[in-house]
Amino acid sequence: MFVIGTAGHVDHGKSTLIEALTGIDPDRLAEEKEREMTIDLGFAWITLGEGDAASEVGIVDVPGHRDFIENMLAGVGGIDLALFVVAADEGVMPQTSEHLAILDLLEVRGGVVALTKVDLVTEPDWLELVQLDLHDVLAGTVLADAPIVPISARTGLGIADLKRVLWERLQATPPRPDNGRPRLSIDRVFSLSGFGTVVTGTLIDGRFQLGDAIEIQPSGKKGRIRGLQTHKLKRDVAFPGSRVAINLTGIDKDEVNRGDVVAAPGVVGSTILLDAAYRHLPDADAPLKHNVEVKLFVGAKEVLARTRVLGQPQINPGEEGWLQLELSEPVAAARGDRFILRRPSPGATLGGGHILDPHPGRKHRRFRPEVVQRLQTLAQGTPAELLLQALARLEPTTVKKLLAQAGMDEETAVINLKELRNTQQIVQIEQNLLTRAGWQQRQDKLQQLVKIYHHENPLRLGIPREELRSRLRLNPAIFNPLLATAVTADTVREAGGFIHIPGHAIRFSTEQQATADALLRRFTTAGVNSPSVKEARAEAGEAVYLALVDLGELRPLNAEVVYAKAEYEQYTAKIVRYLQERQTINAAQVRDLLNTSRKYAIALLEHLDDIKTTRRVGDNRVLAAGS
């Protein structure tokens, strides 16, 4: 998911570019169309990549004009890539530096620059000058290494190149982790007749499923997920990093606002005090002083706050420091969330940083050394976070090995390990530990491997259980609970030692069905002296033969002998009845009973031993206990 930013004074072809890329006009408001300027957030999506690797990517179109920067800030949270739009006929505009500073402060993970309207540039020297100017402006920012792609949305020049570059950059971006703690900062609220309240935003830290219980923070209102959509397609599950529309039950539209957070119960709470690490912009026109009113932007939320500068009198331009922010109203925020501070009037971006403690509990005394020491420690990571980082490097591992590698005293490690269990950030199976993200990644990998197996082997019932375990490279102590969880969630099913996706079935073509029928007729005609495994494979082909075995239509006894289902049941039943009447049987007696050769008689007896119907006593067989 990426955001579209513009450096231009008006639209400069940004919305036109999005429409050229996606076929969707992101400008929803009549005023936007009239003024040819993005005022509020717009949304679109595009399919990038090819074949099985193709993926839908969400787009948030944010305002570029300096009068609407605060609307822009509601849409840039949780993005993976910035597409920065500059009009070639006008070049870099005055607010470009502010846009780049915001991307830096939010630690956006990279981007691409689209140099639009190149068809309007008649002087080649001008285009080269604009690109040189761009390189200078981008130097030292998060977009310093961003490729610059000249395009024209009107003629189509460069559109294919832009799609390719975007996909390459997105593939190089690590996926959003699934930490099992889903939350979504709401950037749009509306209602639909017959459905009720719908909210949209970017999902982070976990996944939502249909029917999940949720709560709205900071209000604490509780509800449930009635429906999920991504890019107007219904979903049963929404994944981290995706743009999601959530249909909520139990919550009225008037009870939800932009900037509220939809979360799993207990994941995030409300607060009016925040401890934070802060960076003041180098080109700010004044220091950040104590007890100054600012606008705080976190997630999609905007709220007035007062600064409490800790450990120093003020924070000068280009410097970093510690802040406690006293908010005018509650917000829902979590440790690590990025934020921006702006001056209310005249509007200007001052700086930003990340939240160290969303619930400090009380106001700090400004110049207490222990307060600054605590913030420095929090900036390096809490004990629980350090444990989680160590586990991510080692997983799956044992409790004993993790504690040995944790780099903290055992008492602290044990206490924080308990906290991670209680907050469901780790999964413990006996003495084995995984992060919640690692557990979910293995769940996803398990399902993916089963789907790949179906694609490669459409005539198999599923992947053999042990082969799946081997491909996942997991020991049974972790694989068995992992598979059990997947079966319980009905993402996969198990039947006869095979793992398959719900709805998968072996389906023969007309030609394959005729081959299968012919082979089964041959078994019926042959009776007890059946065709060998080698002959059956040769006649039907490997794929059809294995499919018949998976379906139970053929029953191999060993590497050489195989029977059709009806004949298998007939001959094994005869042997069991003989044993019920006479208590023992040997190979010669089976040979005479079935009028066959010793090869088939021994194969049948050894098979019945293997499935615990009989047991061997000397040269004889007797019925096993319970048979």
Report the pLDDT value the prediction gives residue 14, as an integer from 0 to 100: 73
- Name residue 183's beta-bridge partners: 204, 263
Euclidean distance between the first and final Cα of the chain, in Å? Answer: 61
In sequence order, the 6+-apart residues with CB closer than 8 A to the CB of 351 are 105, 278, 279, 280, 281, 284, 288, 315, 340, 341
- With a pLDDT cut of 90, the percent of the chain lying above it is 67
For residue 304, give the H/E element and its range: strand 301-310
Query: Looking at residues 87-97, what average pLDDT do you find?
Result: 81
191-225 residue pLDDT tens: 988 889 999 999 998 999 999 999 999 999 999 99
The domain 510-623: what is its CATH number?
Answer: 1.10.10.10
Better-predicted residue by pLDDT, 366 or 21: 366
Better-predicted residue by pLDDT, 68 or 520: 520
Report the pLDDT value the prediction gives residue 231, as an integer from 0 to 100: 85
For residue 524, give the H/E element and its range: helix 510-526
Report the pLDDT value the prediction gives residue 479, as an integer from 0 to 100: 96
The domain 2-171: what is its CATH number?
Answer: 3.40.50.300
CB count, 10 Å around CB of 354? 18
Q: Counting Cβ atoms within 10 Å, is residue 472 exposed (0-12), middle (13-18) or buried (19+)?
A: middle
The answer to whether the peptide bond before residue 218 is cis (omega within 30 degrees of 0) is yes
Helices assigned H by DSSP within 49-92: 69-73
Among 9-13, 272-276, 310-314, 320-324, the range scoring the smallest mean pLDDT is 9-13
Q: What tokens were used for 19?
A: 């429409």
Report the pLDDT value the prediction gives residue 72, as an integer from 0 to 100: 65
In sequence order, the 6+-apart residues with CB closer than 8 A to the CB of 194 are none
DSSP state letters, 558-621: SSSBEEEHHHHHHHHHHHHHHHHHHS-B-HHHHHHHHT--HHHHHHHHHHHHHTTSEEEETTEE
**CATH level 2 (architecture), domain 270-380:** Beta Barrel (2.40)
Residue 575 Cα distances to 233, 569, 623, angstroms: 58, 10, 10
Residue 214: what residue type?
I
Query: Looking at residues 595-618, what average pLDDT do you find?
Result: 95
In the predicted model, is pLDDT for residue 110 greater than 70?
yes
Query: Looking at residues 63-88, what average pLDDT do you find?
Result: 72
In the predicted model, is pLDDT for residue 33 greater than 70?
no
Task: Decide: helix, strand or coil at residue 422.
Answer: helix
Domain residue ranges in the chain: 2-171, 183-263, 270-380, 510-623
The answer to whether the peptide bond before residue 396 is cis (omega within 30 degrees of 0) is yes
Query: Looking at residues 239-266, what average pLDDT do you find?
Result: 94
Among 13-17, 160-164, 423-427, the range scoring the smallest mean pLDDT is 13-17
Better-predicted residue by pLDDT, 237 or 77: 237
Among 87-101, 336-350, 387-401, 423-437, the range scoring the smallest mean pLDDT is 87-101
Among 39-53, 129-143, 257-271, 331-345, the range scoring the smallest mean pLDDT is 39-53
Instruction: Quote the CA–CA distance of 409 and 592 in Å, as a whole number.
Output: 75
Query: Looking at residues 303-322, what average pLDDT do you find?
Result: 97
In the predicted model, is pLDDT for residue 240 greater than 70?
yes
Query: Looking at residues 335-356, what average pLDDT do you find?
Result: 94
Report the pLDDT value the prediction gives residue 27, as an integer from 0 to 100: 65
In the predicted model, is pLDDT for residue 58 greater than 50?
yes
In the predicted model, is pLDDT for residue 13 greater than 70?
no
Report the pLDDT value the prediction gives residue 407, as an integer from 0 to 100: 75
Does domain 183-263 fall into CATH 2.160.10.10?
A: no
pTM for the model: 0.77
Residue 570 Cα distances to 120, 576, 594, 626, angstroms: 84, 10, 10, 20
In the predicted model, is pLDDT for residue 63 greater than 80?
no
Topology match between the domains 183-263 and 270-380: yes
Among 171-185, 207-221, 272-286, 538-552, the range scoring the smallest mean pLDDT is 171-185
Assign 65 a pLDDT band (cuts: 50, 70, 90): low
136-170 residue pLDDT tens: 999 988 899 999 999 998 899 999 999 999 999 98
Q: What is the mean pLDDT of the chain?
A: 89
Assign 38 a pLDDT band (cuts: 50, 70, 90): low
DSSP state letters, 209-231: ETT-EEEEETTTEEEEEEEEEET
